[in-house]
Amino acid sequence: MTDSEKEIPRLILASSSPRRVDLLAQIGIFPDRIVPADIDETPLNNELPSALVQRLGAAKAAAVAADYPGDIILACDTVVAVGRRILGKSETAEDARRFLTLLSGRRHRVLGGLSVIGPDGRAHHRLVSTAVAFKRLEKGEIDAYIASDEWHGKAGGYAIQGRAATFVRKIIGSHSNIVGLPLFETAQLLKGLG
């Protein structure tokens, strides 16, 4: 078999997030397949936010790679952390209100656990941390945001690419990491695989 006859590995995105698909498209990368990973995302006892996000990113990539040997698997997980406290995805309005009240007037971290598995089966991981400072939120602002339903299923109860952008006083680090996929690090890892 000549080099030109070798099959080119496909890029498989191990995520159901439309935001990750949009972010990849922003830098001209279009996955060949989108295969959400079905894993348990429950934090372990006393697990730190950085350990959780790295474990979940790696587990998502590994789960999908098992069915797609020889392809490139891209996975990422996002966690919002206030100190050692993990703010998961808000599933109810009460979750979102509790998260936004906690984040009001404070600085928090958005952690991205990025994992890429190459065609040779080797895994490459990056932990990306972005610091975000929220202004002090008034009750009416929180009420209006809850009414928008934009918070649903979002880590930390907010989407920076939407109405919550007005809550952010300062960002130190990757904006795309907050949205759901650190693009600089993703591009570097994929470039390293050719």
Which domains occur in the chain, in start order?
A: 6-192 (3.90.950.10)
Nearest CA to 104 out of 76, 143, 71, 73 is that of 143
pLDDT tens for 160-189 read 999 999 999 999 999 999 999 999 999 999
Residue 23's pLDDT is: 97
Q: Among the options 22, 38, 67, 77, which is catalytic?
A: 77
pLDDT value at position 193? 87
Q: How far apart are CA 140 and CA 177, in angstroms?
A: 28
**Mean local confidence (pLDDT), 33-37:** 97
DSSP sequence for the chain: --GGGSPPPPEEE----HHHHHHHHHTT---SEE-------PPPTT--HHHHHHHHHHHHHHHHHTTSTTSEEEEEEEEEEETTEEE-B--SHHHHHHHHHHHTT-EEEEEEEEEEE-TTS-EEEEEEEEEEEEPPPPHHHHHHHHHHTTTTT-BTT--TTTGGGGGEEEEES-HHHHHT--HHHHHHHHHHT-
For residue 2, what pLDDT band results from cuts at 50, 70 and 90?
A: very low
pLDDT, tens digit, for every residue of 108-165? 999 999 999 999 999 999 999 999 999 999 999 999 999 999 999 999 999 999 999 9
Average pLDDT of the residues in 35-59: 96
Rounded distance between C-alpha atoms, residue 60 and residue 89, angstroms:
17
For the chain, the average pLDDT equals 95
Catalytic residue check, 95: no
- Give me the pLDDT at residue 6, please: 57
Residue 7 — very low, low, confident or very high, per pLDDT cuts 50/70/90? Answer: confident
pLDDT in tens, 15-26: 989 999 999 999
Q: For position 108, what pLDDT does the model report? A: 98
